[in-house]
Amino acid sequence: MVYLDSIVFPNQDAEWNFRMGIKRTCYNTMYPFFTLSQAGLERLDFESITILYGGNGSGKTTALNVIAQKLGVGRSAPFNSSNFFQDYVKLCQVRLEESVPPHSRVITSDDVFDYMLHIRSLNEGIDRKKEMLFDDHYEARHSTFRLRSLDDYDTLKKRNSARRKTQSAFVREQVMPNVREQSNGESASFYFQQRIEADALYLLDEPENSLSAAKQVELAKYLQESARYMACQLIISTHSPFLLAIPGAKIYDLDARPVDIKRWTQLENVRVYQDFFARHQHEFVQH
């Protein structure tokens, strides 16, 4: 599915025309002006899965954020903005094949980290509650108590409940179970399966963070299936060879000057992996 057909960024002439009209001189940067144009990036044409590849500082995250702001796509994590960001966004032009669904989202590595911390914090809170209930159970079973008025009725009920139940049963009755313990990679993988819904546009910024190689392979398969069977359009910023190898993905190499469309096997980061394993190929031979 394709919702966003293309985006055209301002070229250097348009950026300089804007710059000359600015009277403010107190800013050291006009980011994102002159970031993408210096890389020769003036237009992106999208498929159901489009990947923006490049190293740090290549502009792939900048392009992703500009697209998100131009489309008004929702997000949770803050992003690197500036006083000129909206001015730049206004100069961009987009062409849509279909209206962008309202539940479309930007998903960043920060979102995944926040989710993992939330799960950890939730479990820690549950554990603290359990410790308090352990103390309550002990006190209720062993303390002396005399009913003096109706105000003491709740205390009497707790005392009788504690005497009828084991400590574990007493605690389970009053507190939710811990969220299933998972590794960071498992939590991150689960996060994407929960957040990516059918019929939407998703902008994913380096989703491979926190994922092992095996989990990256799983994520690549899930993203491919989301585009194929769930009518999702995916625009992904990554340098993971496992995501770059998604069949049918259109890849823009933002390290190239000017930016160019490449096959995943042509990309420098992938070549580094290939060269590394080629040098160590003899170590994989079974003796």
Query: Does residue 206 form part of some domain?
Result: yes
pLDDT tens over the chain, length 287 residues = 999 999 999 999 999 998 888 766 556 678 999 999 988 899 999 999 999 999 888 899 999 999 999 999 998 877 877 889 999 999 999 999 999 999 999 998 788 777 655 555 544 444 454 455 445 545 555 555 454 554 554 555 555 554 554 544 544 555 444 444 455 556 677 788 888 999 999 999 999 987 889 989 999 999 999 999 999 999 999 999 999 999 999 999 999 988 999 999 999 999 999 999 999 998 988 65
pTM for the predicted model, two decimal places:
0.77
* Whole-angstrom distance, CA of residue 149 vs CA of residue 41: 79
Backbone φ/ψ region at 176: left (φ over 0), alpha (ψ -120 to 50), beta:
beta
Structural domain includes residue 179: no
In eight-state DSSP terms, residue 181 is: P
Task: Please check whether residues 121 and 100 belong to one and the same domain.
Answer: no
Distances (CA, A) of 101 to 58, 126, 139, 207: 29, 37, 56, 21
170: in domain: yes
Find the domain containing 133 and state its range. 112-174
The answer on 135 and 105 residing in a single domain is no
